[in-house]
Amino acid sequence: MASDSSLSAGLSELMVLRLLQDQEMYGYEIVQAIAARTRQVLTPGEGVIYPLLHALEKDGALKSRRKTVAGRSRIYYSLNARGVKKLAAMTDHWDALTGAVGAVLHAV
């Protein structure tokens, strides 16, 4: 069974991939987007998002580029083909998992 930390790491990974599917974002934007979309239920440690992003990039799921917007230079991340596949696989796994847990929790 997955430990709490690996479960939350997996969740963060899933959410990051899903957010980057729509548009390229930088770290701060990603953290704000997760907090906003989960209505502050999930608030990942702000700084610890970067090792996750770097790991996903090393895995080939993300690519990054430095971009200057409004005078601020930042590293933007976006999904690539391997990331799309990984997101699909993780989403399927998550759906199966939530379905299974729901079946237990709501069983009469």
Partner 1 sequence: MRFEALRETLLKGGVAPRHVRRYVGELSEHLDDLVKQQQALGYDGEDATLRARALLGEDRELAAAMLEQKRFRSLPARAPWLFFGLLPPVVGIAAGFLLIGSLALTAHLRGMTTPGHINAPEWFRTLTFAVTGLGNVALAPLLAATFVFLATRQRIIWLWPLLAILLLVLMDLHFQAHFPAPGQRGGSLGLGAVTWVLHPQSWAETWRLSLARLLLTCLPAFWLFRNRMIVS
Using CB under 8 A, which of the segments 14-22, 73-81, 85-93, 95-103 binds partner 1?
Answer: 73-81
Task: For the CB of residue 47, give the shortest distance to partner 1 in the complex, in Å.
Answer: 4
Closer CB to partner 1, residue 73 or residue 99? 73
**Among 10, 19, 26, 82, which residue interacts with partner 1 (rule: CB under 8 A)?**
26
CA distance 31 to 45: 8
Check residue 35 for interaction with partner 1 (CB under 8 A).
no
- For residues 24-34, one letter each, b for 16 or more C-beta atoms within 10 angstroms of the residue's C-beta and e for the rest, the string is ebbbeebbebb
Closest CA to 54 of 30, 90, 36, 81: 30
Smallest gap from Cβ 22 to partner 1, in A, equals 20
Which pair of tokens denotes residue 20? 């980057």
